[in-house]
Amino acid sequence: MKSEGAALGLRERKKQATRAALAEAAVRLAAEHGAENVTVEAISEAAGVSPRTFFNYFDSHDDAFVMIDRGVGERVRRAVREAPASMTALDAVREALATELADVEEQREIWDLRATVLQRSPHLLVRGMGAHMTEELELAETIAERLGAPAFRTAEGERGSRRPGPCAHVPDTSALGLYPRLLAAAGTTAVRVAVEHWCAQGPDASFPDIFRRVFAYLAAGLPEPPADG
């Protein structure tokens, strides 16, 4: 008999496969017809599921085009929390992100199509940026927790309160400390730069090599490369 853990793993893989199929269908349809002309029904039909199933995986129509997957952020944060204590926070973040990006090279066409869709629909780009900013803050909280910082929550369970004045739109994240915020931002930016550079290099480029180089620069403190490099 299969163990309960194995059964849960199989269900999780099936869920990830369904989400991936919906996101791929959405991006392909949007690249061909424009995101504004693609319905939830059309996406669901292309992925072979019902419209009701669509909303089990995405909160809104737009999230499928942006390929927002809350599960990715949750897995990255769990990996950072569970990384060996001997590993630096930067290395823990790098390895957690590398695991999630292990199959990027197999999905090059979808990444390229997604970039086209976002360029044609600026509101989707804004939607994606907002989601990534939320995940970045949550990653910073996890890094702060790993480093022994106090929990960053108010008594009501909300994140830090907002302040009056010109920074009223910015949550007060001072309790997190500067390093966790900077590392989370640097990590997510490093992924974006690595993906963009890899896409620009053509089909022969190795994403894992580019990803490791980007994080090696961060670990070294961003020294200037030699003139011939």
State whether residue 162 is helix, strand or coil: strand
What pLDDT does residue 204 have?
84
Its pTM stands at: 0.76
pLDDT tens figures, 37-67: 999 999 999 999 999 999 999 888 888 888 7
What pLDDT does residue 155 have?
36
Sort 99 into a burial class: Cβ within 10 Å, 0-12 / 13-18 / 19+: exposed
pLDDT tens figures, 118-136: 888 888 888 888 888 888 9
Residue 28 CA from chain centroid, whole number: 20
| CA atoms of 190 and 216, how far apart (whole Å) | 10
What pLDDT does residue 17 have?
87
| Mean pLDDT rounded to a whole number for the chain | 83
| CA atoms of 15 and 53, how far apart (whole Å) | 11
